[in-house]
Amino acid sequence: MRNFPMTIQQLDELTKTMPTPFILFDEKAIRDNMKKFNKAFSIFPKFREHYAVKAGPNPYLLKILAEEGCGADCSSMPELMLSEMSGMKGDHVIFTSNETPAGEYQLAYKQGNIINLDDITHIDFLKKSLGGKLPETICFRYNPGTEKTGCNAIIGKPEEAKYGLTRAQILEAYSRCKAEGVKHFGLHTMVASNELNPDFFVDTAKLLFELCTEIKEKCGVIIEFVDLGGGIGIPYKPGDKAVDLDYVAKGIRAEYDRVIVPAGLDPLAIYWECGRPITGPYGYLVSKAVHEKHIYREYIALDSCMADFMRPGVYGSYHEISVLGKENEPCDHVYDVVGSLCENSDKFAVQRSLPKIDLGDYVILHDAGAHGRAMGFNYNGKLRCGEVLLRADGTTKVIRRKETIDDLFATLDLDGVKDFQ
Ligand SMILES: *Cc1c(COP(=O)(O)O)cnc(C)c1O
């Protein structure tokens, strides 16, 4: 079974004041991982990771990542606000939104964030939103269409994706912005999701680097940064191999030396906007077994449900499960591990071989630190779990409380309903 950073005794102590379920984040592991990530890409003259806030929208996490040198990748107004309050400011924040309301562009502009446009028509929309002028820096999201192959099923084929500009549009977009006085330019793409093949990312960088040289030749525009998007996968399943970041960095560096340096585009800053590999493996959904059923299958029910963590229910994704204290016992029971939602897809694991689970056991769902609680919802009147940070010194801090019924009803006028006929 996989590693978990707390003992049963420590959990017993913590759950006296913070009952299960909650997501536990391991601060030391997040910091160590971020240092490793940054070190791999330190072979570039300029590098920055912009954490995808949607993966873990908690300002305590963002503050830790800011200290490790990260910026933020945002796609909504609350995400822009969270980044700003967590010390991720100015051009350390990239606003990669789509179908964006004017007010969100205005806030990004006011905060000095980099605006990454998703469409050629958004040049005029942005200009109008900002009272007739464009920002000094603009980035465009490129959709390579059929040019980029080998994309996995999660993100799908670029030519079927709603995002980005076509090749013909992107050249026109840079030329237009240059003519309008925009001074600094970036180029972005995002064509992967949970991809484990390291060569895929080298290939994406090559595609963008070659496009940078074409943009220079045809538009006279110098691209100053390339944003490779997110999509670096993590080994959810036994047998999955983590992406070797040193290999990816070296592969991209070779393309940089081959394409960017001779084109006179060096130094070009390299950016990522990853979420999953930054916090995913370092977050755990901590639950207790509260019910068992013995019908056509054996069921173990947890005090959490897919409202807290919906990846298995929605994507059928595999997450490792450990039963604390039973690491050395044989996995001789086959369970469906389920939550309390009135949906049969509310299963954290299906037909999983595990040690015998007793009621009250701590059941840990691994790799829950990205796109986890953040994707949760209140369907069926379910209240989403809280979040706890395990500090580097071994202490714990509640960084988000569990939702209450008052939170759930906050959007209703409950006094009004008394008089409503
Ligand atoms: C979701 C998203 C990311 C982060 O994806 P991960 O798979 O968590 O790395 C980055 N950029 C954009 C534009 C996204 O939509």
Number of alpha carbons in the 13 Å side-chain half-sphere of residue 181: 6
Which of 232, 136, 237, 139 is CA-nearest to residue 185? 139
Nearest CA to ligand 1 atom 7: 231
pLDDT tens, 244-273? 999 999 999 999 999 999 999 999 999 999
- The pairing of beta strand 396-400 with beta strand 386-390: antiparallel
Boundary-marking domain end, from 212, 245, 279 = 279
Whether residue 252 is found in the same domain as residue 316: no
Q: Does a structural domain hold residue 42?
A: yes
For residue 274, which atom of ligand 1 is closest to its CA?
A: 9
Looking at the structure, do residues 225 and 298 belong to the same domain, yes or no? no
Ligand 1 centroid distance, CA of 230 (Å): 4
pLDDT (tens digit, 9 = 90+) per residue, 363-417? Answer: 999 999 999 999 999 999 999 999 999 999 999 999 999 999 999 999 999 999 9
Q: How far is CA 379 from CA 288, 316, 342, 385, 404, in A?
A: 21, 19, 9, 14, 14
Residue 408's contacts (CB-CB under 8 Å, 6 or more residues apart) are: 378, 381, 383
Token pair for residue 77?
């107004």
pLDDT per position as a tens digit, 327-376: 999 999 999 999 999 999 999 999 999 999 999 999 999 999 999 999 99
Q: Which of 255, 279, 303 is the last residue of a domain?
A: 279
> Is residue 137 in a domain?
yes
Number of domains in the chain: 2
What CA–CA distance (Å, rounded) separates 80 from 73?
A: 9
Q: What is the pLDDT of residue 154?
A: 66
283-294 and 22-26 as β-strands: parallel, antiparallel, unpaired? Answer: antiparallel
Q: What is the distance in A from the centroid of ligand 1 to the CA of 53?
A: 9
In this structure, the answer to whether residues 269 and 297 fall within a common structural domain is no
Three-state SS for 106? helix
Instruction: Assess whether 80 and 111 both reside in one domain.
Output: yes
Give the integer Cα–Cα distance in Å for 177 and 173: 6
65-86 core/surface letters (b: 16 or more CB in 10 A; e: else): bbebebbbbbbbbebbebbbeb
Ligand 1 centroid, distance to 238 Cα (angstroms): 24
On whether both 33 and 19 belong to a single domain, the answer is: no
- Residues with a CB atom less than 6 Å from ligand 1: 52, 54-55, 73, 96, 190, 193, 229-232, 273-276, 370
Ligand 1 centroid – CA 96 distance (Å)? 9
Same domain, 401 and 349: yes
| CB-based contact 14:7 (threshold 8 Å) | no
Helix or strand (DSSP H, E) at 62 = helix 59-67
Answer yes or no: do 97 and 176 share one domain: yes
pLDDT of residue 126: 97
Q: Among residues of the chain, what percentage have pLDDT more than 70?
A: 99
Q: What is the 3-state secondary structure (H, E, C) of 258-308?
A: HHHCCCCCCCCEEEECCCHHHHHHHEEEEEEEEEEEECCCEEEEECCCCCC
Q: Cα of 329 to ligand 1 centre, how many Å?
A: 38
Domain enclosing residue 376, as ranges: 8-23+283-409
pLDDT at res. 149: 75
Whether 309 maps to a domain, the answer reads yes
User: What CATH number is attached to the domain comprising 394?
Assistant: 2.40.37.10
79 and 192 housed in the same domain: yes
Residue to mutate (ligand 1; options 34, 54, 189, 315; most atoms within 8 A of CB): 54
Residue 37 sits in the same domain as residue 73: yes
The answer to the question of residue 3 being in a domain is no
Probe ligand 1: pick from 76, 83, 93, 96, max atoms within 8 Å of CB? Answer: 96
- Gap between the Cα atoms of 155 and 146, Å rounded: 14
The whole-angstrom separation of Cα 62 and Cα 51 is 8
Exposure on the CB side of residue 353, measured as CA atoms within 13 A: 5
**22: phi then psi, degrees, rounded to nearest 5:** -155, 165
On whether both 78 and 121 belong to a single domain, the answer is: yes
Contact 159, 200 (CB under 8 A): no
Whether 2 maps to a domain, the answer reads no
Q: Look at residue 300 and tell me if it is in a domain.
A: yes
Last residue of a domain, one of 279, 302, 322: 279
- Please report, for the domain that includes residue 129, its CATH number: 3.20.20.10
pLDDT at 282 > cutoff 80: yes
Which residue lies with its CA nearest to atom 8 of ligand 1? 275
Q: What is the mean pLDDT of residues 178-196?
A: 96
In a domain, 420, yes or no: no
Minimal-distance CA residue to ligand 1 atom 3? 230
pLDDT of residue 391: 98
pTM of structure = 0.96
pLDDT, one tens digit per residue, over 5-53 is 999 999 999 999 999 999 999 999 999 999 999 999 999 999 999 999 9
**Cα 95 to middle of ligand 1, angstroms:** 12
237 plus 123 within the same structural domain: yes
Coil, helix or strand for 124?
A: helix
C-alpha distances in angstroms, 102 versus 75, 98, 110, 130, 247?
13, 11, 12, 8, 41
44 lies in some domain: yes
Residues 223 and 136 in one domain: yes
The minimum-distance atom of ligand 1 relative to the CA of 96 is 13
Distance CA 54, CA 73 (A): 8
Which pLDDT does position 1 carry in this prediction?
A: 67
The residues with which 333 forms a beta bridge, in sequence order, are 354
Question: Percent of the chain having pLDDT more than 90?
Answer: 94
Name the closest-CA residue to atom 5, ligand 1.
230
Report pLDDT for 192.
87
Tens-digit pLDDT profile for residues 110-161: 999 999 999 999 999 999 999 999 999 999 999 999 887 777 766 678 888 8
Q: Per DSSP, what are the bridge partners of residue 285? A: 23, 365
